[in-house]
Amino acid sequence: MTSLFTQEIRLSKRHEKIVSQRLMLLQQMESKLGNQNTEKPSQQQAETAFKRNLSLLKDIEAAEKSLQSKMQSHLPPETCYWASVEEYIPKWEQFLLGQAPYPISVENQKEAENTVLNGTR
């Protein structure tokens, strides 16, 4: 009888140990599940932020290219002056040869004449 009683006590202790291990494992599983549930929204937020950042980078690169092209299109004043001169040379040649009217509009011609007259006086 004592052997049955000791065996019962031993089995009871072992049962308590197994139940406590089970409880501990259940708590660990619940905490991991809770972490996974909290990780999903933060992971989605991180992905959203990543996509937004990529979009912003593309916008910045496009703006950079636009500014670079504008910077390249701004030529030195001397270059712009000579390009303008080359553009008007044929018109002035015809005028100076007497084959065409004054190459600038009449209003500008009067202003130019007044400037010349006032500047020489």
Residue 48 has pLDDT above 90, yes or no: yes
pTM for the whole structure: 0.35
d(CA 49, CA 95): 66
Determine contact, residues 85/77, Cβ cutoff 8 Å.
no
DSSP three-state, residue 34: helix
Instruction: Give the chain's radius of gyration (CA, Å).
Output: 45
Residue whose tokens read 């011609």: 109
Predicted local confidence at residue 121, as pLDDT: 46
Which contacts (CB < 8 Å, 24+ apart) does range 26-32 have? Answer: none
DSSP three-state, residue 99: coil
Q: Is the alpha carbon torsion for 47, 52, 56, 61 positive or negative?
A: positive
Determine the average pLDDT of the residues in 49-66.
93
Return the percentage of the chain with pLDDT > 70, whole number: 83
Predicted local confidence at residue 108, as pLDDT: 57
